[in-house]
Amino acid sequence: MLLTPGPTPVPEFVRKAMSDITIHHRTEEFEAIFKNTRELLIELYDMPEVVMLASSGTGAMEACVTNLTHKKALTINSGKFGERFGKICAAFGIEYTEIKNEWDTPVSVEAVVNAIKADPSIDAVFIQICESAGGLRHPVEQIAAEVKKINKDITIVADGITAVGVEKIDTTNLDAVVTGSQKALMLPPGLAMIGFSNAAVAKIESKPRGYYFNLAIEIKTQRKNTTAWTAATTLIIGLGAILEKLKADGFDNLYKQTALRANATREALKAIGFDIYPKTPANAMTTVYTEQSSAIRKILENKYNVNIAGGQDHLAGKIFRINHMGLVEDYEASWAVNAVELALDDLGIRTFDGTANKVFASNMFKGN
Ligand SMILES: *Cc1c(COP(=O)(O)O)cnc(C)c1O
């Protein structure tokens, strides 16, 4: 059972949709598929423009940094993915300032406001919605609203790789929202997407940058339902299939189920003695702090057939992360907390009494 916060399992109907022969990308047949997928993506994002790029999510992060920073970037680092925005700036010789916090701590609205006020050359802010390194939720919407009050021309770029498809994102003050195929969208890795505001499109068009990740060319081309370079045809067919299904079920229904499952999982793990790691947990995943992380994960994998994620860098062996993104079955989430409780018993830490499963089920199905 794959319950890591990316990659997530690819549902059977998506695998089937992607199993047909490879079609040529410069054909009316593919353009019709592209158009349908593009329109669905615009609906999911609730933003006026989108592009699909043949790359992992980091490629779309890079494209946003290089195309949307004209002067100086402000990057928010509360974990490995926020740190990456700064590393991309450095790689391209783009000036940047970073606000750094521990991986359990979201950036404060005030810290961002102060940084913006202190340095008028900052013209773009880069932040995760959910920072997957520790599973925290940044107050992105509030930050975006405050920054726009100071200067509406400052571009807000949100990495929504573990937020798009997890929750309804208020994009009112966001200019670019990045996502990738292998997290909440349940596809194999290799496709990245960006949603844009009209202001972001205008900024990109005012100063086209780059070659492969030249978003001005990509936006212009994708408006004609084709791509500048060879399209990731198979993944785009898969994305169309997944979005059709999510739309038919209701996007809001997906968000509601994910939030319920995340809450039930957090409550179940707290009930058997764990501390939730982030101060503001996101619904994409549950992260708990425990020195027993490696031992628990090993037992889960070998004895109970559950694959969950650990931590990286200084959190290696200190946290574990259980995924809630995508179409996770209730019985899978319920089994995961059950297995964690069993592992505690196996390690002689806490005698098994079924508490995790009981708390999960009552929160998931009984409203408490
Ligand atoms: C997974 C992830 C990324 C990186 O995406 P890749 O597809 O591995 O390049 C970036 N940001 C966040 C928040 C992620 O969870």
Q: Say how many Å lie between the CA of residue 81 and the centre of ligand 1.
A: 7
How buried is 152 (Cβ within 10 angstroms: 0-12 exposed, 13-18 middle, 19+ buried)?
exposed
Alpha carbon 216 to its chain's center: 24
At 295, which amino acid appears?
A
What is residue 8's DSSP assignment? -
Indicate whether residue 135 lines ligand 1 (CB < 6 A): no
Q: Structure tokens of 135? A: 């599973």
Supply the residue whose CA is at minimum distance from atom 6 of ligand 1: 57
For a mutational test of ligand 1's pocket, the pick from 157, 183, 193, i.e. the residue with the most ligand atoms closer than 8 A to its C-beta, is 183
Indicate whether residue 81 lines ligand 1 (CB < 6 A): yes
Say how many C-beta atoms besides its own lie within 10 A of residue 77's C-beta. Answer: 23
Angle between helices 109-118 and 140-150 (to 10 degrees): 30
In angstroms, rounded to a whole number, what is the distance separating the alpha carbons of residues 289 and 317?
A: 9
> For the chain, which residues score pLDDT lower than 50?
none
Write the secondary structure of 297-351 as one string of H (helix), E (strand) and C (coil): HHHHHHHCCCECECCCHHHCCCEEEEECCCCCCHHHHHHHHHHHHHHHHHCCCCC
Indicate whether residue 6 lines ligand 1 (CB < 6 A): yes
Mark out the alpha helices in the chain (DSSP H runs). 12-17, 28-45, 57-68, 80-91, 109-118, 140-150, 198-206, 215-222, 233-249, 251-271, 293-303, 330-346, 355-365
In angstroms, rounded to a whole number, what is the distance separating the alpha carbons of residues 303 and 343?
A: 9
In angstroms, rounded to a whole number, what is the distance separating the alpha carbons of residues 97 and 82?
A: 12
At 34, which amino acid appears?
F
Indicate whether residue 128 lines ligand 1 (CB < 6 A): yes
In angstroms, rounded to a whole number, what is the distance separating the alpha carbons of residues 120 and 200?
A: 19
Mark out the alpha helices in 127-166 (DSSP H runs). 140-150
What is residue 180's DSSP assignment? E
In angstroms, rounded to a whole number, what is the distance separating the alpha carbons of residues 332 and 139?
A: 30
Q: Which atom of ligand 1 lies at the shortest distance from residue 181's CA?
A: 7
Q: Say how many Å lie between the CA of residue 47 and the centre of ligand 1.
A: 21
Q: Say how many Å lie between the CA of residue 71 and the centre of ligand 1.
A: 25
Q: If we measure between CA atoms, which residue out of 62, 85, 83 comes closest to residue 73?
A: 85
Per-residue confidence (pLDDT) for residue 125, from 0 to 100: 99
Per-residue confidence (pLDDT) for residue 224, from 0 to 100: 98
Phi, psi of 268 (to 5 degrees): -65, -45
What is residue 224's DSSP assignment? T
Per-residue confidence (pLDDT) for residue 367, from 0 to 100: 82
